[in-house]
Amino acid sequence: MKNTESILNILNNIKGLKKSATDDLKSLSKDIDSLENWRIDYLGRNGKLSSLMKILATIPNEEKKIIGPKINQLKVDLNELFSNHKDSLNSNFSSIDENYDISLPGRKIELGNYHPTTLIIREICNAFASMGFEIHEGNEIETEKYNFDLLNIPSDHPARDQWDTIWLNTINPDNKYLLRTHTSPMQARIMEQKNPPIRVVVPGKCYRYEATDATHEWEFHQIEGLAIDKKISFSELKGTLFEMARKIFGSDQKVRFRCDFFPFVEPGVDMSILWDGKWIEILGAGMVHPKVLTGVGYDPTEYSGFAFGIGPERVSMLKNKIKDIRNFHLNDLRFLSQFVK
């Protein structure tokens, strides 16, 4: 009875060792070093198979006739597992191009960076933040009310035409939605939500239905600025924008203001900078129109303010000598890699 139990235990150990070896082999990482460690662990001089074979010296000859062939077969099976796995690894290595030197160091991983548009938007926003402006964001899908009506843009203005604005199909004809043509709608939304004093800049994407060329894109960015308080004057508008120009373009930057027209400001101006001997317009601005203040519930006799809009891509084009605005949307690494620091 004891001999029978002893044989069964040894047979179970043989079966368990084969299962353990097979499972460990399957979980190995695909490299020669791991396979060699497995071979030493199971087939080495002091390995698990060697320990099992030492049992043969301690059992009667009759039991050896039963146990011996089983252990020898286990040795054959383990060696076959080892050989098959090694052949598999070698076949993977042999698939590598013979002209490829695997001893060479790996390729350098290229570092990414922010998109040039993101970089200039952050630079401009940081310039205004240093002057006490908050940074807000708004929806890219807007209503006709906020994009036009509350900004004193009349119903017959060309900007409302379907050839200039990307209108969206809506179920309710009374609520007309569109892709915002500027970030100015946030003027009204912020004034409705906050009481003066207000000083905010709003960066974001805008969309216009127009042909693209080296200086125009149908999708572009704009940074809207708004300041509302009691007794804000035009000189504060000029001082704020002049300080921004110094922070972005340098402390000796010259600027020029000229009269211009925008429906939501009165008076309106454009600001140009002297760049490479030429005056280049970079933004439009002006004092917030009294009708805009009245439309959001502000008393224009008590409050005043100024607003401005900057095209960050145009600023980046000047600073980085970029000739074509379409480069910002090409995802060309030859272009983008120039901005990796």
Q: Is 265 a catalytic residue?
A: yes
Distance CA 254, CA 286 (A): 19
Residue closest to 10 by CA, chosen among 42, 44, 43, 58: 58
The catalytic residue among 160, 180, 182, 314 is 182
Distance CA 84, CA 71 (A): 20
**Is the dihedral angle over the CA atoms 173, 179, 184, 187 positive or is it negative?**
positive
Buried b (16+ CB within 10 A) or exposed e, 171-207: eeeeebbbbbbbbbbbbbbbbeeeebebbbbbbbebb
Q: Is 307 a catalytic residue?
A: yes
The catalytic residue among 21, 202, 265, 285 is 265
Instruction: Specify the length of the chain in residues.
Output: 341
The catalytic residue among 45, 107, 162, 163 is 163
The catalytic residue among 200, 307, 314, 315 is 307
The catalytic residue among 115, 189, 208, 326 is 208
> Which contiguous run of DSSP H or E holds residue 267?
strand 265-275
Q: What angle is formed at CA 311 by the lines to CA 322 and CA 239, rounded to 5 degrees?
A: 115
In the numeric block, which tokens belong to residue 209?
């239905």
Q: Is 222 a catalytic residue?
A: yes
Q: Is 329 a catalytic residue?
A: no
Q: What angle is formed at CA 266 by the lines to CA 265 and CA 271, rounded to 5 degrees?
A: 70
Q: Is 159 a catalytic residue?
A: no
The catalytic residue among 222, 285, 289, 315 is 222
Residues tagged active-site: 163, 182, 208, 222, 265, 307
